[in-house]
Structure 1
Amino acid sequence: MKKGIPIGNLTSQIFANIYMNVFDQFIKHDLKVKYYARYTDDFIIVSEDKNYLEKLLLPIQLFLKEKLKLELHPSKVSIRKYHQGIDFLGYVALPHHIALRTKTKKRMMWKLKNKMTDYKNKKINEATLLATFQSYLGILSHANAYKLSQEIQNKFWFWLNE
């Protein structure tokens, strides 16, 4: 059975903030973590000290299990060097730029193509199609993705006119 928080609607995001607030307090006040960020059920902790990060794992796992009945996803826990990038919320933050995760790029193209098909089949209106398109351009604006932005715009207009 899949566990997690469905983030498709605003109430889920609000609920996640309320539910996970006790975890935020634990991280900041009990563990005294300096660099921590969380969105719904995804979080990162940044430190120059690998041993420090490794020592945080067990108390975090225990807190999540005992207090919130949650578990860390084994394949999503990683301790990496900064130059390898911090993978968080669809972006990879590298020392000198922010890139969009490859999986995010592919999903974006696939979803935009599907929205275009829905528009052409009159399942959605023009406003919905354009809102999706603008949303993706907004996502790209937070990364160093000028070429990708141009590519998506070119494909969008090509698909619209085919």
Structure 2
Amino acid sequence: MKHYFETIDQEVLLSILKKRIKDDELLWLIKTILANHKTQETGKGMPLCNLTSQFFANVYLGELDNFVKHELRAKYYLRYVDDFIILGRNRKLLEEYKMKISGFLKTELKLELHPQKSSIIPLRRGVTLLGFRAFCHFRLLKRSNQKRIEKRLRKFREKLAWGEISREHILLSMAGWDGYAKMGNTYNPRKKIWCKLQAILQAQK
């Protein structure tokens, strides 16, 4: 989606929630939470780091899930928050899906597909999702993901030199990243990162 969290229509969200929530006080609380968030456009958007936003974001696109599965009857559909993939063998059918989804998003949810990220490509080129480039039989880290972790290492080195961060904190943070990276075929890039980390820690002994 194009600028998903920034463009969620609050009135549309509330109308979706009202289908499932009959408690007026709870609905009032939700409306208050949304209204207290300062947005560029009145009545649009949600705070990125708020836990309720993660939940509401999924509820909002639950409408898209129902449309794709029950109206389009797409067999292979996957969504994670605002990223979604539809697999199929018939390009013409996929183009039809894309056109209908674009129309549904605009009319029902007041959203737009991202023009650069909504494309029909051969599966052999891989699919980008959750920081990985996924192919049929393996997954690779995106280059931007690797650059991001290397930038984090540089910041760790600076903070460690100034005594602004502990070695334990760094190791805990990197262990979390390593657990995530292990979901792909990432032995070599992970080894490279851990070697750099070891050099940083040894230099500050």
TM-score with structure 2 setting the length: 0.71
Q: Which ranges of structure 1 fall in alignment gaps of 5 or more residues? A: none
Aligned AA for 2:189? L
Q: Please provide the CA RMSD for this pair.
A: 2.0
CA distance in 2, matches of 1:23, 1:99: 28
SS of the counterpart of 2:116?
Answer: helix
What's the offset of the Cα at 1:101? 1.2
Which residue of 2 is the match for residue 91 of structure 1? 132
1:77 aligns with 2:114: no
How far does the alpha carbon of each residue in 1:77-120 deviate from its partner, in whole angstroms, 9 at most, with x for none? 12111111111121111122111111111112212332343344
State whether structure 2 residue 109 is matched by structure 1 residue 68: yes
Cα 1:104–1:8 change in 2 (3 A) is: farther
TM-score with structure 1 setting the length: 0.88
Shift of 1:130: 2.4
Q: Distance in 2 between matches of 1:69 and 1:127?
A: 46
- Secondary structure of 1:77's partner? coil
The answer for the alignment partner of 2:149 in structure 1 is 108
Which runs of structure 1 show a deviation greater than 6 angstroms over 4 or more consecutive aligned residues?
none
Which structure exhibits the higher relative contact order, with contacts defined as CA atoms closer than 8 Å and separated by 6 or more residues? 2
CA distance in 2, matches of 1:28, 1:18: 15
Of all paired residues, the percent bearing the same amino acid is 37
Q: Deviations over 1:35-63 (max 9, x none)?
A: 11111111111112211111111111111
Q: Flag structure 2 segments of 5+ consecutive residues without an equivalent.
A: 6-46
Q: How big is the shift at 1:7?
A: 5.1
Task: Answer with 1 or 2: which has the greater Rg.
Answer: 2
